[in-house]
């Protein structure tokens, strides 16, 4: 029987699945596990289920020891994992793509609606008990029908967001490392363009690309200046893809009309200027936060770990 360390609270279904075959040491604290406690617990582990809040690097892998076979990340993004360090030590790294596609696309489109229809501003007026009354020009937003959605990163989540945009009567352009399936592109009415063109023509820009050195601050002052002054930026991918300081300046100065953010550059810290601006909708990394999705993510991570421990190929390896 192998020892599996789970670095944070996950749905019981995943823990029960692991316990059928192995000894499980699961962190149950209300807060994220500290680095010192994490290193103490992983010593001697054969498998580790990690959350995106834990950094998996050479130090952690070496502390675990040479018997470690798999790191199963309970997330689709894996910027918290040093994949090269895993490979060097013969450790399989896995993630959980696919199962959070629809939930994250829902949040992306919710943020599009919140930003363009100024829903957050409206709710704050009521909750703050500010006086208000209906008026022809009160909190005027903008409609989506006939507008253009620019999607940066046209993987599963980007495509799911595009389907929602089509239902709202939007045109879709996208920037991605490769073209999507022609049949899917035809179904969505989606056209591939360069990033510069996407920024120039889009009424809403939605980010769905993975985070890494190539996409760090992909959207900064120059890119924001290339957008329409009436346009909106939405980020449900990873925070550091956007230069938050530049975004705050662009929102304050009217370079763009508004934004919606589910992720942040120094999460959970939010740039203080963003907190003072009414034209940005802010939610605390809720992209995959449904009972169904988080359960599916955790059980897929468990399946990945179990497969490797059995000497089988995992369902969703990284790379």
The residues assigned a catalytic role are 238, 267, 285
End-to-end CA distance of the chain: 28
DSSP string computed for 160-188 = HHHHHHHHTT-EEEEE-SSPPPHHHHHHH
- By C-alpha distance, which of 80, 86, 108 is closest to 212? 80
Distance of CA 33 to the CA centre of its chain: 21
Name the packing angle between helices 101-116 and 119-127 (round to 10°).
70
- Answer whether 177's CB lies under 8 Å from 154's CB: no
Return the bridge partners of 175, or none. 152
Pairing mode of beta strands 280-282, 258-261: parallel
């Amino acid at each position: 029987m192998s020892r599996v360390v789970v670095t944070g609270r996950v749905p019981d279904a995943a823990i029960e699945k692991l316990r059928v075959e192995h000894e499980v040491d699961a962190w149950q604290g209300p807060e994220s596990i500290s680095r010192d406690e994490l290193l103490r617990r992983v010593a001697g582990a054969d498998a580790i289920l990690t959350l995106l809040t834990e950094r998996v690097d050479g130090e952690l892998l070496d502390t675990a020891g040479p018997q470690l076979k798999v790191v199963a990340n309970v997330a689709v993004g894996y910027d918290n994992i040093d994949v090269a360090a895993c490979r060097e030590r013969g450790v399989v790294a896995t993630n959980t793509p696919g199962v959070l596609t629809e939930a994250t696309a829902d949040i992306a489109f919710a943020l599009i609606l919140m930003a363009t229809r100024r829903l957050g501003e409206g709710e704050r007026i009521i909750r703050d008990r500010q006086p208000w009354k209906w008026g022809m020009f009160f909190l005027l937003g903008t409609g989506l029908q006939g507008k253009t959605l620019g999607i940066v990163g046209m993987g599963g989540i980007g495509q799911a967001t595009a389907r929602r945009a089509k239902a709202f009567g939007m045109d879709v352009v996208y920037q991605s490392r490769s073209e999507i399936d022609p049949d899917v592109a035809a179904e969505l009415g989606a056209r591939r363009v360069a990033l510069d063109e996407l920024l120039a023509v889009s009424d809403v820009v939605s980010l769905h690309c993975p985070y890494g050195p190539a996409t760090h601050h992909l959207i900064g002052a120059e890119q924001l200046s290339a957008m329409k002054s009436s346009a909106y930026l939405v980020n449900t991918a990873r925070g550091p893809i956007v230069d938050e300081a530049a975004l705050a300046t662009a929102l304050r100065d009217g370079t763009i009309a508004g934004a919606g953010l589910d992720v942040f550059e120094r999460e959970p810290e939010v740039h203080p200027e963003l907190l003072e601006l009414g034209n940005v909708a802010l939610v605390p990394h809720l992209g995959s936060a449904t009972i169904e999705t988080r359960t599916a993510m955790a059980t897929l991570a468990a399946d990945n770990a179990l497969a490797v421990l059995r000497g089988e190929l995992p369902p969703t390896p990284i790379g």
